[in-house]
Structure 1
Amino acid sequence: MIRVSVMYPNSESATFDIEYYINSHIPMVNELLGDAVKSGAVDAGIASGAPEESAPFIAIGHLTFESLEAFQNSFGPQAEKIMADIPNYTNTQPQIQISEIKA
């Protein structure tokens, strides 16, 4: 299993509409990627490890797939549509990490 994490960096000028992300963007992504998505989660950053410091990411979206190929085959044809929705909820440039789930 692999997890695709889309991380939205925090900054003083960053904006993020978590309601739009949860209620519009994520359902659209799930519909476009279909059964390839095995599970998903959304984290909203609230703090960092240091006292009084902001979270390094405003939000992180996680999607789980059976394999890297399953992700690539489902995301590739839909990438343009998914990426075009980003300005509707944030002014940040997301960072993507793909990880193999070990435990």
Structure 2
Amino acid sequence: MVWCISCQQPTSSDTSKIKKGMIKVAILYPNTEGKTFDMDYYSNKHMPMVAGLFGDSLKLYTIDKGIAGRTPDEPLPYVAIGYFYFDKLSAYHNSFGPNAETILGDIPNYTNIQPIVQISEVLH
């Protein structure tokens, strides 16, 4: 699922906004026994709230809903992965820092999974 920040409507054409050199913040939610995840809350409340807090420094965000592992016999590795795209790493740090308490405080509203965060540079 791809979300256009300016219009807040999903559209697949917005992936064209992803450019080489951008910073991608991936938030991965591992699938482990006994863990819960409310995809409706995550996609309709949490991620839009975070996008609003990040403001204009956030260029785009996307959400992946896990559906299968590598083979039919393998368990799903992640129930969800959220991505935030910024022009510069400093834009992410300046956006997240002042809002960290609000963002992290909302996590128990949709999951009991400890997310893994990976910050990357888009190469292609």
- Whether TM-score is above 0.5 comes out as yes
TM-score normalised by structure 1 residue count: 0.97
Amino acid at match of 1:19: D
Q: Which residue among 57, 60, 71 is the counterpart of 1:39?
A: 60
* Number of aligned residues: 103
TM-score for both structures, normalised by structure 2: 0.81
**SS state at 1:3 partner:** strand
CA contact (8 A) 1:39 1:64 kept: yes
CA offset at residue 51 of structure 1? 2.1
Partner of 2:44: 23
Q: Is the 8 A contact 1:46 1:54 kept in 2?
A: no
Q: Name the SS for the 1:38 alignment partner.
A: strand
Answer yes or no: is 1:67 the counterpart of 2:91: no
Superposed structure 1 runs of 4+ greater than 4 Å apart: none
Q: Is the 8 A contact 1:3 1:62 kept in 2?
A: yes
Matches of 2:74 and 2:34, distance apart in 1: 16
SS at match of 2:64: strand
Would you say 1:54 and 2:65 are equivalent positions? no
Gaps of at least 5 residues in structure 1 are none
Residue number in structure 2 paired with 1:102: 123
AA aligned opposite 1:43: D
Q: Distance in 2 between matches of 1:16 and 1:52?
A: 22
